[in-house]
Amino acid sequence: MTDIYRPNNQEEISQFIYDCYESNRPIEIITFNSKPIGRSIQCSQTLDLSKNSGIVEYQPDELYIKVKAGTPLIDILEVLKSKNQMLGFEPVDLGYLYNGKPNYGSIGGVVSCNLSGPRRFKSGSLRDHLLGFTAVNGKGECIKSGGTVVKNVTGYDLSKLLAGSYGTLSVLTEVTLKVVPKPEFSETFVMYGLTPKEALEVFSKVMKTSLEISGACHYPKNNIDFLRLNDLDNSRTITALRIEGPKNSVQERIESLNKIFKEVKEKTILEIYQSDLFWKISANLECFNNSPKIVAKISLPPTETTDFISQFCEDEIMGINNKYFVEWAGGLIFLEIGNEDPSYLILEKMKKFCKEKSAHIMIMKADNTFRTSGFFLSSSDENIKTLASKVKLSFDPKSILNPGKIYAGI
């Protein structure tokens, strides 16, 4: 039976990891178990960070917040909301995907997974909003990087390295994040009935303008029933563009979109409340609510998106009709496929496609059988795994922190 240790602070975390390092005991790192993402691992020890919680410092005027890694993200969002501020990377609540109910989890887990929402293509990913951190490496040593402001400095940016490392390099104990003012107003420009190719053409055209789109997604016919908003027709494909800012500016830019896409006959505008709800639902992957199937995230050049959809999402010849939707103005596809053997063959074909097209796959959700024997990340560059192994060795020489979480044997 796995032993669970719940330390109260960084000193206790450091001592625990040092003891495990000395005795070669592998550690699984958890907080609220809100994100069973990555490969399934077996460890003799479990490090639960839920007691290492609390807001250390919040300076609204200086636009940063410093918190302990075990702090529930929902608590942070509420504090920021009270000052009309937010996290610019648009946090994602994966509770709907895994359990059919909200569960943001801890800020440490969010940072470790580098989870970013629909605004990512405009505002950058979470790692771009991480100003600094303190952590404990695989030898029990305390490390620190960054501060409370963005600076141009020489040397390694460890904040960007640890964000998205899934707890395999160090255990985060405290993080400092940049915060931004909440937009005064937002509206969403929706076009109906577009094909994936037409939607990609819309994204390409609008991204060349100065309209500062902060959200751009496309939902096909087989994945829109869950979108139940008063002003939204969910009987046809949906292509949505979000505009945020001062009310007058938003309305002027919406009118510009109307002129640019005047040939599209079926359109509607989601006003601020429905617009906010639409993008929250989209960010939280509620279209795959409590899905029992494999859910994959494919990051790819927008020029290859239409080809990917035709091969793996809507291939009429092969009879493929997988649920999916397109995000980040065509640079991201979320895709649901079955857990059966044919689906594994499809995944292998996807890996080949991604290798050839400078893209990569991340498995967001899968059953334990696949998580134990299958892959988690796939990259077009085979050298990335070798590099990851060397970086892991420098932070965690005995590979005791979440061993095998990203790659088997690392």
Per-domain residue ranges of the chain? 1-182+381-410, 185-283, 286-378
Q: Are the beta carbons of 181 and 83 closer than 8 angstroms?
A: no
DSSP 125: -
Please state, in angstroms and rounded to a whole number, the distance separating the CA atoms of residues 367 and 369: 6
Q: Are the beta carbons of 295 and 371 closer than 8 angstroms?
A: no
pTM, to two decimals: 0.94
Of 115 and 153, more confident: 115
Task: Give phi and psi for 183, each to the nearest 5.
Answer: -55, 140
Q: How many Å is the maximal CA-CA distance in the chain?
A: 69
CATH topology for 1-182+381-410 is 3.30.465
The region that residue 409 occupies, defined by phi over 0 for left and psi between -120 and 50 for alpha, beta otherwise, is left
Mean pLDDT, residues 249-258: 98
In this predicted structure, the answer to whether residue 241 has a pLDDT above a threshold of 80 is yes
In this predicted structure, the answer to whether residue 321 has a pLDDT above a threshold of 90 is no
What is the tens place of the pLDDT at every residue in 181-225? 999 999 999 999 999 999 999 999 999 999 999 999 999 999 999
CATH topology for 286-378 is Alpha-Beta Plaits (3.30.70)
Q: Are the beta carbons of 328 and 216 closer than 8 angstroms?
A: yes
Task: Give phi and psi for 122, each to the nearest 5.
Answer: -100, -40
Q: Are the beta carbons of 132 and 96 closer than 8 angstroms?
A: no
Please state, in angstroms and rounded to a whole number, the distance separating the CA atoms of residues 181 and 168: 33
CATH topology for 185-283 is Alpha-Beta Plaits (3.30.70)
Task: Please give the C-alpha separations between residue 166 and each of 12, 211, 290, in angstroms, as whole numbers.
Answer: 21, 35, 22
pLDDT at 317: 57
Reported as a pLDDT band with limits 50, 70 and 90, residue 149 is low
Place of tokens 């050049």: 301
The rounded percent of the chain whose pLDDT value lies above 70 is 96
Same fold for the domain at 1-182+381-410 and the one at 185-283? Answer: no
Please state, rounded to an integer, the average pLDDT across all residues of the chain: 94
Mean pLDDT, residues 47-57: 97
Please state, in angstroms and rounded to a whole number, the distance separating the CA atoms of residues 376 and 295: 11
